[in-house]
C-alpha cells in the first residue's frame, strides 16, 4: 500500500515529477559517464605497452617520445642514426631491440616501419602478444601487416594492394603510388594504437623514399619498384627503439648510459613511469570534470528536494486524510522517503540506459578520433558503489521533505488549511 | 482490549493549549457520551470545535485532565498507540476533500481498512456493500475519486469512515459543501449506516437545521462554562 501510494502520488504529479526525473537522469548519466571514461581511458593508457623496459628516441621530452612512439600522436623532432641502434642492440644488458620508423600514412592511419621482432616482442595488457587473425608477418620489401581496425574500416583482405602517402594527415598531397604494398597479414584487435597501424619493413620505408629528398620527390629522378630492390635498403635513420633487457635490475644503468651516449643526444624513458606521468597530467582535467558532475548532481538533488518541499503545501489535504485513517507521522515520513527513492531508482536506471545508448553511438567516433577504446557497458563493479552513493545521497536529502511531512502531520492535526 | 460498553467517550478536567504561552483553547471539566449516542455539537468558529475533534481523534494530546475512549485512557497513550487506536476504532469525515484524488473509489475506502489491519477480502466485501447502501453505483468503484461529484465524494467518505466498523464516528461539518436538497438525504444514509453498527456519532456543525437528526445537542461554549454537564439520555 505504501509503495502504491508513493507510486500513484508521483504519477499524480507526473508533469513536475517527470521534469525532475529528466534532470536526474541526465546528471546520473553525466556522473557515471565521466567515471566510466576515466576508468576506460586509464585502462586503455596503462595497457598500451607492456613488457618493454625502455623506449629510446632522439632527445626531446619524455611525454613527446611516449606519444609518438606508443600512441602514434604527434611527430618526432629528430631521428636516431642506424649506428646508434646497432650499438644499442649489441649492448651486453640488452636482450632484444625493435626499431620503429614513423612518418608515412595510409588514408589517415600511421605507417610503422619495423622488423619482424616487433611481432615477437610487442606486448600489451597483461603481457599479451600480438596475434595474427590472418596471414603472417611481412617477408618482402613491399609486404604490409594491417592492424585490425585498418583492415575492418578500409575493407582490406589478404593480397589487396595499398598505396602509402607521405606525411601523417588524413589528406596527403604526395603519394608513394609507384610502389604499392601488398597485405600479407592482419592482426587481431588489441584495443591499442596497434589496431590503427599499417606495419611494413624498414626496407620498405627505405625503398619508397629512395627517390625523395627533404620530404619531397626529386624531380625527374624516379626509381622503379623493382629497381629499388637492387639497391642497398639498409635504413640510415629510425625514429625510436623499443628495448627489452635481460634483467630489469639493469634498467636504470642502461637508461643512464643511453642518456649520456656521446655520439648523439638520445633519451631513454621507462614506459610505465611515462604512462603514469601522462595519466597524472590528465587526472587534473579528470578531477575537474568529476567535481563538475558531482556539482550538477548535487544541484539536481537540491532541485528535487525543493520541488518535493513545494509539493507539501498541495499535499496537506492528502496528509490530513492519511492521518485521519490512522497513518502515523512515521508512515508519512516513509511515504515521502519512498517517493524520493522511487524517483532516484528510476533516474539511475534511466541514467544507465542513456549512458549505454550514448556510448553505443559515441564509441566508434571516440575510437576513430581520439584513439579511446571504450567499453559500451558502463556497469563495472565500482560503478555500483557510485550508484549506491547517489542513492544514499538522494535518500539523505529526501530526509528534509520527509521530516517536513512528519512535522506537519503532528502540528496540523486533521485541519485542512487550504 | 477491554471495551467499556456504557460510555464511549469520557472527558474529565480536560485542557488543551497550542503553546505554553497561550491561554487554553479548550477547557472541559466534564463530558460523558454514551455508546450509540448521536451528539450534535455547535458553536461559532474559533470556539474550539476542530480542536476538540482533533483531541477525540487522538491526533493531538491534552496537557491536562483525562480523556477516555471506550474505556481506554487516550491521554496516557503514545503518539503511535493513538494512531493505531484511531485506525481501529474511530471513523473521521471532513467538510470536503475527504478522498485522495488519484486513488480510485474502492482504494480510498479500503485505505482505512489497511491501517486498521483488517483482512482485505472481507473489507472489500463490506466496502462494496456499504457503497451500495449509500446509493453509489458499482461502476464508480474503479473511477479516480477526483471524477466524482461533491455529493458522491461525501458518501464515499462515509463508507471510508465506516468500513472498519468503528465504535466512534467523528464528523466535521460533512454537509457544508452539499446543497440543501441532498443534505437531508445524505444525513439519512449517514445515520442509517452508522446505526447498523451501533456507532457513536460526534457531529460538529454550525448549521442548526440539522439538529433534529440527533439524540443530543450541545453548544460547545457551554462545555467550558458549565461545571457539570449531564448526559441527556
DSSP B163-220: TT--SEEEEESTTTTS-HHHHHHHHHHHHHHHHHTT-EEEEE-S-GGGGGG-SEEEEH
Q: What is the pLDDT of residue A199?
A: 94
> Which among B98, B102, B115 has CB closest to A326?
B115
Which candidate in A324, A332, A418 is best for mutational testing of the B interface (most B CBs within 10 A)? A324
| pLDDT over 70 (residue B231) | no
Interface contact A416-B98, CB threshold 8 A: no
pLDDT band at B228 (very low <50, low <70, confident <90, very high): very low
3-state helix, strand, coil in chain A (%, to 5): 55, 15, 30
Q: Measured between alpha carbons, how far is B145 from B102 in angstroms, rounded to an integer?
A: 6
Residue whose C-alpha is closest to residue B91's, from B14, B18, B21, B163: B163
Q: Which string of DSSP letters, residue by residue, matches A237-268?
A: EESEEEEEES-GGGHHHHHHHHHT-SSS-EEE
At A213-246, the pLDDT tens digits run: 666 667 666 777 777 777 788 888 899 999 999 9
Angle at B178 between CA B172 and CA B180, to 5 degrees: 115
Looking at the complex, does the CB of residue B106 fall below 8 Å from at least one CB of chain A? no
Contact B54 A328 (CB under 8 A): no
- Contact (CB<8Å) A1/B101: no
Q: Which of A320, A325, A414 sits opposite B112 (nearest CB)?
A: A325
Residues in A 327-356 with any Cβ partner in B closer than 8 A: 327-330
Cell, residue A150: 585498418
pLDDT at A375: 78
CA distance linking residue A13 with residue B100, whole number of Å: 13
Q: How far is A342 from chain B (nearest CA, A)?
A: 18
B87: contact with A, CB 8 A cutoff: yes
User: What is the C-alpha separation between A115 and A142, in angstroms, rounded?
Assistant: 13
- Look up the pTM and report it: 0.70
Segment B210-231 shows an average pLDDT of: 73
Of A1, A330, A415, the CB nearest to B114: A1
Tell if the CB–CB gap between B116 and A326 is shorter than 8 Å: yes
Cα–Cα dist A171/A156, whole Å = 19
- Report the gap between the CA of B159 and the closest CA in chain A (Å): 12
Say if the Cβ atoms of A416 and B97 lie within 8 Å: yes
Chain A CB contacts of B79 under 8 Å are 328-329, 410
CA atoms of B215 and B8, how far apart (whole Å): 15
Q: What is the ipTM of this complex?
A: 0.85
Pick from A326, A414, A415: CB nearest B112: A326
d(CA A67, CA A114): 17
pLDDT of residue B230: 42
Q: How far apart are CA A275 and CA A268, in angstroms?
A: 14
Question: What distance in Å separates the CA atoms of residue A409 and residue A393, rounded to the nearest whole number?
Answer: 25
A191 phi-psi bin (left φ>0, alpha ψ -120 to 50, beta other): left
From the list B50, B92, B103, which residue is nearest A324 (CB)? B92
In chain B, the percentage of residues whose pLDDT exceeds 90 is 18
Rounded Cα–Cα distance for residues A235 and A233 (Å) = 6
B97 with A12: Cβ contact below 8 A: no
Evaluate if residue B1 carries a pLDDT over 60.
Answer: no
**Can you tell me the distance from the alpha carbon of B223 to that of B233, in angstroms, rounded to the nearest whole number?**
17
What is the C-alpha separation between B56 and B20, in angstroms, rounded?
Answer: 21
Q: Which residues does A285 contact at the CB level (< 8 Å), separation at least 6?
A: none
- pLDDT reported for residue B193: 87
Over residues A329-340, the pLDDT tens digits come to: 888 899 989 989
Q: Kind and range of the H or E element at A323? A: helix A316-324
> B108 with B145: CB under 8 angstroms?
yes
Closest CA to A332 of A394, A405, A400: A405
Helix (H, G, I), strand (E, B) or coil at B48: coil
Predicted confidence (pLDDT) per residue in A252-283, tens digit: 999 999 999 998 999 999 988 888 888 888 78
Tell whether the model's pLDDT for residue B98 goes beyond 90: no
Amino acid at each position: 500500500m505504501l509503495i502504491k501510494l508513493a507510486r500513484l502520488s508521483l504519477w499524480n504529479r507526473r508533469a513536475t515529477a517527470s521534469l525532475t526525473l529528466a534532470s536526474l537522469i541526465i546528471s546520473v548519466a553525466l556522473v557515471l559517464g565521466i567515471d566510466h571514461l576515466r576508468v576506460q581511458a586509464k585502462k586503455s593508457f596503462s595497457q598500451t605497452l607492456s613488457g618493454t623496459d625502455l623506449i629510446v628516441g632522439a632527445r626531446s621530452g619524455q611525454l613527446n617520445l611516449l606519444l609518438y612512439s606508443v600512441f602514434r600522436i604527434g611527430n618526432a623532432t629528430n631521428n636516431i642514426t642506424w649506428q646508434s641502434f646497432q650499438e644499442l642492440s649489441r649492448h651486453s644488458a640488452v636482450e632484444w631491440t625493435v626499431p620503429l620508423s614513423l612518418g608515412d600514412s595510409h588514408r589517415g592511419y600511421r605507417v610503422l616501419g619495423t622488423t619482424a621482432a616487433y611481432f615477437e616482442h610487442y606486448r600489451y595488457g597483461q603481457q599479451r602478444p600480438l596475434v595474427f587473425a590472418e596471414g603472417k608477418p611481412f617477408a618482402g620489401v613491399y609486404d604490409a601487416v594491417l592492424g585490425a581496425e585498418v583492415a575492418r574500416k578500409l575493407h582490406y583482405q589478404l593480397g589487396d594492394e595499398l598505396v602509402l602517402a607521405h606525411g601523417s594527415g588524413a589528406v596527403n598531397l604526395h603519394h608513394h603510388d609507384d610502389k604499392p604494398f601488398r597485405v600479407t597479414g592482419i592482426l587481431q584487435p588489441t584495443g591499442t594504437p596497434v589496431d590503427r597501424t599499417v606495419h611494413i619493413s624498414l626496407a620498405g620505408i627505405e625503398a619508397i623514399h629512395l627517390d625523395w629528398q627533404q620530404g619531397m620527390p626529386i624531380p625527374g629522378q624516379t626509381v622503379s619498384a623493382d629497381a629499388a630492390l637492387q639497391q642497398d635498403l639498409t635504413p640510415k635513420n629510425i625514429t625510436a627503439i623499443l628495448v627489452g633487457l635481460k634483467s630489469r635490475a639493469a634498467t636504470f644503468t642502461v637508461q643512464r648510459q643511453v642518456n649520456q651516449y656521446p655520439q648523439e643526444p638520445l633519451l631513454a624513458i621507462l614506459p610505465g613511469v611515462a604512462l603514469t606521468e601522462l595519466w597524472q597530467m590528465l587526472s587534473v582535467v579528470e578531477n575537474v570534470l568529476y567535481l563538475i558532475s558531482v556539482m550538477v548532481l548535487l544541484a539536481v538533488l537540491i532541485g528535487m528536494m525543493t520541488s518535493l518541499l513545494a509539493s507539501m503545501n498541495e499535499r496537506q489535504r492528502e496528509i490530513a486524510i492519511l492521518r485521519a485513517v490512522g497513518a502515523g507521522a512515521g508512515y508519512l515520513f516513509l511515504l515521502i522517503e519512498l517517493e524520493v527513492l522511487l524517483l532516484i531508482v528510476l533516474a539511475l536506471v534511466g541514467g544507465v540506459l542513456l549512458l549505454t545508448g550514448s556510448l553505443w553511438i559515441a564509441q566508434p567516433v571516440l575510437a576513430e578520433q581520439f584513439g579511446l577504446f571504450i567499453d559500451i557497458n558502463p556497469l563495472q563493479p565500482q560503478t555500483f558503489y557510485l550508484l549506491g552513493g547517489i542513492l544514499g545521497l538522494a535518500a539523505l536529502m529526501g530526509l528534509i521533505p520527509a521530516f517536513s511531512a512528519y512535522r506537519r502531520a503532528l502540528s496540523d492535526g486533521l485541519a485542512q488549511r487550504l | 482490549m477491554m471495551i467499556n460498553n456504557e460510555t464511549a467517550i469520557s472527558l474529565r478536567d480536560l485542557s488543551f493549549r497550542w503553546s505554553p504561552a497561550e491561554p487554553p483553547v479548550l477547557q472541559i471539566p466534564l463530558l460523558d457520551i454514551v455508546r450509540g449516542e448521536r451528539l450534535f455539537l455547535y458553536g461559532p468558529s474559533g470556539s474550539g470545535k476542530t480542536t476538540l475533534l482533533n483531541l477525540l481523534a487522538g491526533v493531538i494530546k491534552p496537557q491536562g485532565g483525562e480523556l477516555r475512549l471506550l474505556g481506554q485512557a487516550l491521554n496516557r497513550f503514545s503518539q503511535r498507540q493513538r494512531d493505531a487506536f484511531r485506525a481501529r476504532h474511530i471513523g473521521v469525515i471532513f467538510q470536503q476533500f475527504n478522498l485522495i484524488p488519484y486513488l480510485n473509489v474502492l482504494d480510498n475506502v479500503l485505505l482505512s481498512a489497511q491501517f486498521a489491519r483488517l483482512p482485505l477480502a472481507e473489507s472489500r466485501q463490506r466496502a462494496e456493500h456499504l457503497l451500495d447502501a449509500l446509493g453509489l453505483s458499482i461502476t464508480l468503484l474503479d473511477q479516480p475519486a477526483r471524477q466524482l461529484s461533491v455529493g458522491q465524494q461525501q458518501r464515499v467518505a462515509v463508507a471510508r469512515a465506516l468500513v472498519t466498523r468503528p465504535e466512534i464516528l467523528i464528523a466535521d461539518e460533512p454537509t457544508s459543501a452539499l446543497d440543501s436538497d441532498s443534505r437531508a438525504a445524505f444525513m439519512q444514509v449517514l445515520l442509517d449506516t452508522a446505526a447498523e453498527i451501533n456507532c457513536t456519532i460526534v457531529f460538529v456543525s454550525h448549521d442548526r437545521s440539522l439538529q433534529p437528526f440527533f439524540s443530543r445537542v450541545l453548544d460547545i461554549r457551554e462545555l467550558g462554562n458549565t461545571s457539570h454537564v449531564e448526559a441527556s439520555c
